[in-house]
Chains A and B, each alone.
Chain A
Amino acid sequence: MDEEPERAKRWEGGYERTWEVLKEDESGSLKATVEEILFQSKRRRVIESHEQVRLGMMRHLYVVIDCSRSMDDQDLKPNRLTSSLKLLEAFVGEYFDQNPISQVGIITTKNKRAEKLTDLSGNPKKHIDALKKAVDSVCAGEPSLYNSLNLAVQSLKHMPGHTSREILIILSSLTTCDPANIYELIKTLKSLKVRVSVIGLSAEVRVCTVLTRETGGLYHVILDESHFKELLMMHVKPPPFDLETPSTTPFLETQICLSLGGYFCPQCHAKYTELPVECKVCGLTLVSAPHLARSFHHLFPLQAFTENSVEEHQGDRFCQACQGELKDKTIFTCTSCQSVFCMECDLFIHDSLHCCPCCIHSQIGP
C-alpha cells in the first residue's frame, strides 16, 4: 500500500511466517488476534483521548535517548540510533506544531552516565540541529535510567506547578546501570507529579512497567518502524493533567508587542527574539496569539465519530474525505453532519485536522 512508505522492505524484516497467520485463526487465537488487538487499541486511543477535559497544555517534556551499545542493533534501518533520531526530529516538529506554548529538552544516556543534549526550550530548530548532530555519536556501554531521570528531575522540579512535567524515554537496552535504588526515585517522581513514559525498542522490562504505572505514564514496545512512529506521535497530544489545587499564579500573559526583529515583554519590556519563552527578568511566560490559538483546539476537541459496521450503512460507499471506497469492515460517522469516513481519514481528522471537513464545508457553503 502507498500509505506505508515507512515500512521496512519485506526482505529486511525478521523471519516472518506469514502463512501461519492464515493457518491459525481457525481456533481463534495466535497472530491474527494479536493484530486484531492492535487495531482495537488504536481505536481505543482515539476514543479515550477525547474523554479528557483538563489537559496540560503548557508542557515541559524531557526526551531521554538511550545511546548505549544496544542502539547499534540493526533491526531498525540503518540502525536503531539513526532511525530513532530521525523519528524524533519529526516528533519535535509535530510536537511544537501541536503544542506551541510547550518546551522540550533532550538528554542522552550512555556509559552509565546521562548528559543534557539540549536544555528545556521552545525553539524546535535548536533541538532538531542537536538531533542531527547526535547521529554521529558513538553508542557505547550501558544506559542509566536513574541518572537520566535524576538529571531531568533537577530541571523539571523548578517548573511551575500549573504546567505539566513529563519525561519520555526511548529505551533500547534491556539493562540499566543505576547508582542507587531506583524505586526511591520513582517515589520522588510520583510526589513531584512527573509523568514518565517509556517506548521500548526491544522488549518489556519490569522496572519500566513499574515506573510508568506509578507515575501515570504510558509504556509501549515497538513492533517495527511504523509502529515506532505511531507510538511516538501518541506523545504529541497533551496528556490528561491533574490539577488538584487550581493554580493561583496567573495563567498567561499574552500582551506581546512585536517590534522590529523581536518581542517585548509587556511587564518589564525585556526584548526577546523568539517565542515562546519564559521572561528571564520577571518570570512571565511569553507567547504570541497564534500560539495560543493553536493550542486552543485541545480544549474543544472534535467529538469522536460513531463506529458502525459497513453493512449497516445505507447510501454511497465512499469516504466523504478521501473519496475512496469504504473497504474496511467499520466506518465512522460524524455526529453532527452525519458524513461517513474511512478509518484512515477518521484518524487524520482527529489527529491532525481537529475539525470535521464536512461540518466546515456546510458552514461556509450556501
Chain B
Amino acid sequence: MKLNIEGLLVYFPYDYIYPEQYSYMLELKRTLDAKGHGVLEMPSGTGKTISLLSLIVAYQRAFPLEVTKLIYCSRTVPEIEKVVEELRKLMEFYSKQTRESNNFLALALSSRRNLCIHPEILHANIVVYSYHYLLDPKIADLVSKELAKKSVVVFDEAHNIDNVCIDSMSVNITRRTLDHCQNNVDTLHNTIHKIKETDAAKLKEEYRRLVEGLKEANVARETDVYLSNPVLPDEILQEAVPGTIRTAEHFVGFLRRFLEYLKSRLRVQHVIQESAPQFLKDIYDKVCIDRKPLRFCAERLQSLLRTLEITDIADFSAATLISNFATLVSTYSQGFTIIIEPFEDRTPTIANPVLHFSCMDPSIAIKPVFQRFQSVIITSGTLSPLDIYPRILDFHPVTMASFTMTLARTCLCPLIVGRGNDQVALSSKFETREDFAVIRNYGNLLMEMSAIVPDGIVAFFTSYVYMENIVASWYEQGILENIQRNKLIFIETQDAAETSMALEKYQEACENGRGAILLSVARGKVSEGIDFVHHFGRAVIMFGVPYVYTQSRILKARLEYLRDQFQIRENDFLTFDAMRHAAQCVGRAIRGKTDYGLMIFADKRYARADKRGKLPRWIQEHITDGSLNLTVDEAVQLSKHFLRQMAQPFRQEDQLGLSLLTLEQLESEEMLQKIAQVAHQT
C-alpha cells in the first residue's frame, strides 16, 4: 500500500499495517527532518525492520540530497539476512508499483570474508552490516571510513550497544598474546633485514614520509572525507612521528622494550588496578618509554606493515593489538582502567595472568558515529528506560519514543511469582541463594508449569553456577524425575556445540508433542540470539533477577566511573542492566501478534516499582496489580485460564480494524486520532 506520512509518499510492501508501525514511521520521519538522533523502542514481531526500511528508502527517494545513504547495523548474521529479505520484498514492490527499473543498490556484509568492497560501498544506497564494522575501530577503519556524512545510521537490536562499544575499545592481554607478539616482532625484524639488503630505498621512502608527518590523514579529516578513528587521536595527525621510532629498526627495538615491560608487569602475585597516567609514569620510570612514541605506535605499525608489503595481516593480530593498546593507553587519560589479575577468580590456584585494559565509557567508541552522521537511530524491542541510553552514550536525541503493541487479544501474560505455596518468599538474592526452601519452591513452580504448559518452556537462571547448583539439588529431591514425566529437559552449557545440539533436540521434542524444557542462562547464547516462536516457547520462566556478577573488578571500576562522570548511581545501573536482560529473556517468547506466551518472573523483587518500572512499556502495561505477588498455585490457575483462552480460534478478521489496518481503515479520521493519542502518551 502507499502511505502518506506527513506529506511523504511511502511504499509499504504489505496490504495491512499495524497502527504502531504507522506511529513509528511518523516518529522516524520527524527525526530525519530534524537531522538529529533518535531512540525508538518497539516490541519485536511488530515489523520494525520493514517500517524502518520503507520509510528511509522513501525519504531517500524524495530528498536524494538530504539523505544519501542508509547504513543499517544489526547484530548477528541471521538478523542481517532477515533485513536483506525484507529489503528485497520492498524493492520488488517498488519496481512493481513504479514500473521502472530499480536503480537502488543495496549491499549486505555478512561475514568478514567480504571485506574487500571499497568501490561498491561508495555507490550503494543501502548498506547492511554488523555493528562491528562501524564501532570496532580496527574494522571500521577498513570498511566504514569513507561513508558519506549525509547517511542515516540505524542500530537495530541496540539494547546492548554500550557493551559492544566497550568491548570494541577494550584490550585483554595474556601471556599468549605476548608470545605471539614476540614472534611477530621477530618476523618484522627478519623482514626488515631482508628488505634492507634488497630494497633499501623503500625504507628510506617511508622514513621521508614519516618526517612529513601524517599530513595526508590530517587533510582527509579536515576535508571531512573519513569517519574519524577513535584510536587515532586528533593531535598526532598534526605532528610528525617522533624520531625515536622513525626508522624501522628503532621501532622494532621500541616494540621489544615495550613487550619486555608488559611481560614484567604480568609477573604479579596480587591484583593491581591503576589508571592510565599511573601506568605511563611507571613505564617511563622503568624502561624510559615516553608518552609520545607510544601514541604513534598503532599508526607506525600500520605504516611499517604497508611498507614491508606484508599481506597476511591476520598473522599480526597480536602485534596490532599491543600497538593499539599502546596508543589507547597514552591517548586517553580518562575512561579507561588497567587491571592486572594473576589468576581467574574461579581457579585461584592456576596462574593465568591477564592484563585488562578496559574501557569504561561507551561514548568513546560511538562518539565519531554521532558526530559524523546526521541521523543515528537506536532501536530495539527492549530499550527501557529510554533516558539512560542518551546518558551513557553521551548524545542528545531529538526523539525518544516507546511504542506498545496494539492487540486484539492479550497474547502475553506476565506474572510475578513472589511466594511458594508455603508462603516462603522466592528470590535469587545472595542471602537466600542456598536456601533449601527457595530451591524446592522453584522446583515446584517448574514442575507445576510443566504439567499445564503445552510444548516448550524456556527457563532462565541468573548464572551457570546458580543453575548447576539448583539442578543438582532438584535431582536429589526427586523433582527432576517428576518434571521428566511431563517434559524432557535440556540444558544450555558453555560449550557452543553442545548447546546447539540441545537446542535442536529441544525443538524436535516441541514439534512432535513430547514437550520439552530448556534450562538456560540469562546473558547466554540462548537469551540473546534465539527466538522461541509459537510452540517453541509457550512460557518463559525467569528464576531470579539476572544481576551481572558484581564482584568483578572491571564492573566495579565501570560503576565507579559511571557514578563520577555521569551521575548514575551504581544501583540504578545494575538494576537497569538486570532488567534489560530479563526483558530480553522473556521477550523471546512473543515474536508477533499471532504468537502467545506466558512470562513468569519468579522473584519477589520484580514486584517492586523500581524493577517493574524498568521493564519495556509493552510488557509493563499487561502487569496488573493482581499479578504482582502470586503464589505458585495462583500462577498455575491464571496460566491455565490464559492458555485456554489463547487456544480459541483466532483469525485475521478478528484483528482487522483493531491491531491490523487496511489503508482505508488507517486513513479514517477516527483511527488517525487514536494513533495520535497513543503517540501523545509516549
Task: Spell out A's residues near B (CB within 8 Å).
Answer: 14-15, 17, 20, 28-31, 33-34, 37-38, 40-41, 69-70, 75, 142, 145, 174-178, 181-183, 200, 202-209, 220-223
Contact = CB atoms under 8 A, between A and B. Distances in A.
A207 B647 contact: no
Given A15-B634, A34-B645, 13 more contacts: A20-B624, A31-B645, A34-B409, A174-B453, A178-B513, A202-B640, A202-B643, A203-B640, A203-B646, A205-B513, A206-B513, A221-B648, A223-B644
B454 A202 contact: yes
B313 interface: no
B513 A175 contact: yes
Contacts of B409: 29-30, 33-34, 37
A223 B451 CA distance: 17
B455 A206 contact: yes
Contacts of B510: 206
Interface in B408-463: 408-410, 451-455
A14 B641 CA distance: 8
**Residue of B407, B409, B511, B512 most packed against chain A (CB within 10 A):** B512
Contact of A203 (B511, B637, B644, B658): B644
A220 B650 CA distance: 11
B649 interface: yes
A131 to B, nearest CB: 25
B514 interface: yes
B515 interface: yes
Contacts of B535: 205-206, 209
A19 to B, nearest CB: 10
B654 A174 contact: no
Contact of A176 (B452, B513, B645): B513
A177 B514 contact: yes
A204 B511 contact: no
A204 B512 contact: no
B82 interface: no
A202 B643 CA distance: 8
Given A30-B410, A183-B512, A204 B640 contact: no
B648 A206 contact: no
B556 interface: no
A181 B409 CA distance: 34
Nearest to A38: B648
11 contacts: A29-B406, A30-B409, A30-B410, A31-B645, A34-B409, A69-B485, A174-B486, A174-B515, A202-B452, A206-B534, A223-B648
B647 A203 contact: yes
Contacts of A223: 644-645, 648
B596 to A, nearest CB: 9
A199 to B, nearest CB: 11
A203 B453 contact: yes
Nearest to B630: A15
B644 A222 contact: yes
A202 B515 contact: no
B119 interface: no
B513 A145 contact: yes
Given A175-B515, A178-B513, A183-B512, A202 B486 contact: no
A174 B452 contact: yes
A14 B637 CA distance: 6
Given A202-B643, A204-B643, A37 B454 contact: no
Contact of A29 (B408, B641, B647): B408
A37 B512 contact: no
Contact of A202 (B410, B513, B624, B644): B644
B117 interface: no
Contacts of B647: 200, 203-204, 220-221
B454 A174 contact: yes
Nearest to A20: B624
**Residue of A37, A40, A209 most packed against chain B (CB within 10 A):** A37
A206 B637 contact: no
Contacts of A204: 454, 643, 646-647
**Residue of B454, B512, B641, B650 most packed against chain A (CB within 10 A):** B454
Contacts of A145: 513
Contacts of A15: 634, 637-638, 641
Given A33-B409, A178-B512, A181-B512, A205 B455 contact: yes
Nearest to B643: A203
Interface string B583-623: 00000000000000000000000000000000000000000
B626 interface: yes
Contacts of A206: 454-455, 510-511, 513, 534-535
A175 B486 contact: yes
B487 interface: yes
A223 B410 CA distance: 16
B170 to A, nearest CB: 43
A183 B409 CA distance: 31
Contact of B649 (A14, A17, A41, A202): A41
Nearest to B657: A28
A33 B658 CA distance: 11
Contacts of A142: 485
A34 B534 CA distance: 19
A34 B648 contact: yes
Contacts of B643: 202-204
Given A29-B658, A70-B451, A202-B640, A208 B648 contact: no
**Residue of B648, B650, B658 most packed against chain A (CB within 10 A):** B648
Contacts of A70: 451
Contacts of A33: 408-409, 654, 658
A203 B642 CA distance: 9
Closest 4 CB pairs of A and B: A207-B513, A221-B647, A206-B535, A204-B647
Contacts of A69: 485
B210 to A, nearest CB: 67
